[in-house]
Amino acid sequence: MIDRRNFLKTTAAAAVASRVHGANERIVGAVIGTGRQGRGVMSAFARQEAFPMALAAVCDVYEPNLKTAVKACEDRQLPAPEAVKDYRRILERKDIDVVIIGSPDHWHALQTVHACQAGKDVYVEKPISVRVQEGRRMVEAARKYNRVVQVGTQQRSGKHFQKAVELVWEGAIGKITHVKSWNYGNEYPKGIGNPPDSDPPPDLDWDMWLGPAPMRPFNANRFGVNPRTFSYFRWFWDYAGGMMTDWGVHLLDIVQWALKADGPRSVTATGGKYLLRDNRETPDTLMVTYEYPGCVVTYENLTTNNFGVDTHGYGINFYGTEGTLFVDRAGFKVTPQTTRIGERSYDLMPAVEMKDLPNSGINHMVNFLECVRSREKPISDIEVGHRSTSTCLLGNIAYRTKERLEWDPATERFTKGSAQASALLSYDYRKPWVLTV
Spatial distance between the Cα atoms of 433 and 215, rounded to a whole number of angstroms? 12
pLDDT at 242: 98
CATH annotation of 168-317+389-418 = 3.30.360.10
Q: Are strands 338-341 and 344-347 parallel, antiparallel or unpaired?
A: antiparallel
pLDDT at 345: 61
**Helix ranges restricted to H, 212-270:** 220-223, 242-246, 248-259
pLDDT at 162: 96
Contact, 295 vs 172, CB < 8 A? Answer: no
pLDDT at 340: 64
Please list, in sequence order, all residues whose beta carbon lies within 8 angstroms of the beta carbon of residue 304, skipping any fewer than 6 positions away.
186, 187, 188, 274, 275, 276, 284, 285
Instruction: Please state the pTM of the whole predicted model.
Output: 0.94
Strand partners, 413: 408
pLDDT at 374: 97
Per CATH, which fold does 4-155+363-384 belong to?
Answer: Rossmann fold (3.40.50)
Percent helix, strand and coil across the chain, each rounded to 5? Answer: 35, 25, 40
Cα–Cα distance list, 420 to 242, 327, 401 (Å): 20, 36, 7
| Segments making up each domain of the chain, as ranges | 4-155+363-384, 159-167+321-356, 168-317+389-418
Contact, 386 vs 136, CB < 8 A? Answer: yes
Give pLDDT < 50 ranges for the chain. Answer: 1-2, 4-6, 8-10, 12-17
- Amino acid letter for position 89: R
pLDDT at 286: 98
Spatial distance between the Cα atoms of 230 and 40, rounded to a whole number of angstroms? 11
